[in-house]
Amino acid sequence: MNEEQDVTEDTESAEGGAPENDRLSELVRELDEVRQHVLYAQAETQNVRRRLEAEKQNATTYAATAFARDMLSVKDNLERALDAIGDDLRTDDRLAPLIAGIEATGRELESAFARHGITRIAATGQPLDPNRHQAMIELPSDAEPGTIVQEMQAGYMIKDRLLRPALVGVARQP
């Protein structure tokens, strides 16, 4: 501040005063404005960089979401095929390789899901969680009202996000 005063006093005495002083204070004010704009620009650049980094992280973490949803129907169909095989067919030696192949495919699919952070949502016996379960029907039951007593379709999470809600039946008082 002393240097500014010295410069101001020198210019006032040399030029006679006020116009040069006004010009200097105008330049100082412009310099302050430019400094503010630079600080704002730096802050904005840093915010954009952080936002892009977060978006990049989300994109890599959840890139397989659409593909995983498509694969859930494959898993559902494999489970239905296995459920449809009765005990009498399981003992048939001619169907043993077919059943073993379907079971191996199901295990491989579960293993791929696990590698990519896709997990099944616990449902039966749990209290209804509207963030993970979709209640389809109410069933008379001795269980506590609001407890899941039937799972119609399994639900899945991909890491910490819902991939598909579990379709469930919820207990109500008889």
d(CA 144, CA 159): 30
pLDDT in tens for each of the 174 residues of the chain? Answer: 444 555 445 544 444 557 788 899 999 999 999 999 999 999 999 999 999 999 888 887 788 888 889 999 999 999 999 999 888 888 888 888 999 999 999 999 999 999 989 999 999 999 999 999 999 999 998 888 989 999 999 999 998 899 999 999 999 877
CATH topology of domain 118-174: Nucleotide Exchange Factor Grpe; Chain A, domain 2 (2.30.22)
Domain boundaries, the chain: 2-61, 64-116, 118-174
DSSP 8-state secondary structure symbol assigned to residue 144: P
d(CA 146, CA 133): 11
Taking alpha carbons only, the member of 74, 85, 99, 86 closest to residue 154 is 74
Tell me what pLDDT residue 18 has: 76
The two counts, helices (H) then strands (E), for the chain are: 5, 6
Handedness of CA 147, 168, 66, 101 (dihedral sign): positive
d(CA 92, CA 79): 20
Within a 10 A sphere around the Cβ of 83, how many other Cβ atoms? 8
CB contact at 8 A, 119 and 97: no
Tell me what pLDDT residue 12 has: 47
The neighbouring-strand residues paired with 172 are 140
